[in-house]
Amino acid sequence: MLVLAATAWAQDPVAAAKEAYRKGEFRKAAKLFATAAEAEGDPGKRAEIRVNLAWTYFAMKNRAKAEEALTAALKDSPQLDLVPDYYTDDFVALFSRVKAKAAAPAASPGNTPSTVRNPAGAPTLTLLRQRLAQAADNPAVEAVLADLHNLEIAASPSALPDILDAKAEALDRLGRTTEALELRGRVAALRAVAQAAPGTSAVPLEALLEARRLLATGHPGDAEAWMHGVLTAQPSCVPALEVLGEALLDGGKLDEAYSALKTALLGNEKPDLLLLLGEVEERRGRLPGARDAFRRVVELDPGNDRAWAALGLLGAKMGDVAAAREALDKALQANGTLFEARVVRGEIALADGQPALALQHLQRALQVKPDDPWASGWEGVALLSSGNTAAAVERLRPAAAADPRFALALVEAQRRTGKVEDALATLAGAKSDDPVATLLRARCLLDAGRAAEAEAALTEFVAANPDDARAHYLLGVALHAQRKWNAAERELSRAASLPGAPSGAKEALAQVEATGAAQQLLDAALTPPAPAPHR
User: Does pLDDT of 176 surpass 50?
Assistant: yes
Query: Which CATH number does the domain 433-520 belong to among 3.40.1030.10, 3.40.50.360, 1.25.40.10, 1.20.1250.20?
Result: 1.25.40.10
Q: In the chain, which segments carry CATH 1.25.40.10?
A: 336-430, 433-520
56-61 long-range contacts, CB within 8 A, separation 24+: 56/17, 56/21, 56/26, 56/29, 56/30, 57/30, 58/90, 58/91, 58/94, 59/21, 59/26, 60/26, 60/27, 60/30, 61/172, 61/177, 61/180
Confidence of residue 276 (pLDDT cuts 50, 70, 90): very high
Confidence of residue 529 (pLDDT cuts 50, 70, 90): low
In the prediction, which pLDDT does 230 show? Answer: 92
534 vs 112 pLDDT, higher one: 534
User: Does pLDDT of 526 surpass 70?
Assistant: no
In the prediction, which pLDDT does 451 show? Answer: 93
In the prediction, which pLDDT does 332 show? Answer: 95
Contact 220, 248 (CB under 8 A): yes
Contact 20, 28 (CB under 8 A): yes
HEC sequence for 86-106: HCCHHHHHHHHHHHHHHHCCC
User: Does pLDDT of 3 surpass 70?
Assistant: no
How much is the average pLDDT of 137-142? 91
User: Does pLDDT of 9 surpass 90?
Assistant: no
- The Cα 340–Cα 346 span in angstroms is 10
In the prediction, which pLDDT does 375 show? Answer: 95
How much is the average pLDDT of 351-376? 94
Among 472, 425, 481, smallest CA distance to 453 is for: 481
In the prediction, which pLDDT does 222 show? Answer: 94
Confidence of residue 19 (pLDDT cuts 50, 70, 90): confident
How much is the average pLDDT of 176-195? 91
**What is the SS3 assignment for 353?**
coil
How much is the average pLDDT of 459-485? 90
Confidence of residue 2 (pLDDT cuts 50, 70, 90): very low
How much is the average pLDDT of 35-52? 87
Ordered alpha helix ranges (H), 302-372: 305-318, 321-334, 339-351, 355-368
Classify domain 336-430 at the CATH topology level: 1.25.40
Express each pLDDT in 59-118 by its tens digit. 877 777 888 888 888 888 888 888 776 777 778 878 888 887 777 554 444 443 333 345
The rounded mean pLDDT for the chain is 86
In the prediction, which pLDDT does 285 show? Answer: 93
In the prediction, which pLDDT does 124 show? Answer: 85
In the prediction, which pLDDT does 4 show? Answer: 39
In the prediction, which pLDDT does 104 show? Answer: 58
Express each pLDDT in 405-459 by its tens digit. 899 999 999 999 999 999 999 888 766 678 888 899 999 999 999 999 999 999 9
242 vs 199 pLDDT, higher one: 242
